[in-house]
A and B are shown apart, each in its own frame.
Chain A
Amino acid sequence: AQRVTQPEKLLSVFKGAPVELKCNYSYSGSPELFWYVQYSRQRLQLLLRHISRESIKGFTADLNKGETSFHLKKPFAQEEDSAMYYCALDFGNEKLTFGTGTRLTIIP
């Protein structure tokens, strides 16, 4: 079955430390991969997508086909990075499958 797994419900990181939010998927094909973010009192919004290969707000995400992972990384965490992060995949069936989310808290 096609599945998206975010193993960490909660993640706390000190300001200035590196951040890595994990996302694993189960699928034999090549999905479209996204990271969405929800800041406090704001709408859920797209952070980045694999196909664009952009770095947004210092975040990058690399696809590892061998490990079927799409982890989100940032070298130096900032307080404004505190938010809920969702990994989402389009398995080519015209809908997104979301992970259960990771709440990131940056400790000042």
Chain B
Amino acid sequence: DGGITQSPKYLFRKEGQNVTLSCEQNLNHDAMYWYRQDPGQGLRLIYYSQIVNDFQKGDIAEGYSVSREKKESFPLTVTSAQKNPTAFYLCASSIRPTGDEQYFGPGTRLTVT
């Protein structure tokens, strides 16, 4: 373990509030990713970044935002516009964007009530 960290492990928020999930890696990887994991739906890509100061929408980007100001950090903000934010969120990184193994963080479980 180690290399890619997510905090906090559990997060609780009231509906209508924005919340930011942290993801940090010390692997010197160029590419970083955010996934949402829901039972029966597998992993769905929210946003990804191939390089610092650049990022692209994944398959379910609506209601989320990201930034990539530093190579080692890729925070995800879950906004109040996300209709169903309660989920398990996974961050990952890889050396390069294409064809390389992705290394995953331990995840953050977000509960919005």
Alpha-carbon separation in the docked complex, A32 to B94 (Å):
15
Task: Knowing A86-B42, A86-B43, A101-B42, say if A43 contacts B104 (CB, 8 Å).
Answer: yes
Alpha-carbon separation in the docked complex, A51 to B101 (Å):
11
CB contacts (< 8 Å) of B45 on chain A: these are: 95-97
CB of A43 within 8 A of CB of B42, answer no
Task: Knowing A43-B105, A43-B106, A46-B102, say if A94 contacts B97 (CB, 8 Å).
Answer: yes
Alpha-carbon separation in the docked complex, A45 to B104 (Å):
7
Looking at the assembled complex, report how far the CB atom of B90 sits from the nearest CB atom of chain A, in whole angstroms: 7
CB contacts (< 8 Å) of A94 on chain B: these are: 31, 48, 50, 97-98
Alpha-carbon separation in the docked complex, A92 to B97 (Å):
10
Tell yes or no: A56 within 8 A of B by CB: no
Chain A interface size band reads 20 to 34
Alpha-carbon separation in the docked complex, A95 to B55 (Å):
12
Of all chain A residues, which has the CB nearest B44?
A98
Interface residue from B40, B50, B102 paired with A96 (Cβ < 8 Å): B102
CB of A90 within 8 A of CB of B98, answer yes
Residue positions of A touching B, CB distance < 8 A: 6, 9, 32, 34, 36, 43-46, 49, 51, 86, 88, 90, 92, 94-101
* Pairs across A and B, CB under 8 Å, 21 listed: A6-B42, A32-B98, A34-B101, A43-B104, A44-B90, A45-B103, A46-B101, A46-B102, A86-B43, A88-B43, A90-B98, A90-B99, A94-B31, A95-B33, A95-B48, A95-B58, A95-B97, A96-B102, A98-B43, A98-B44, A100-B41
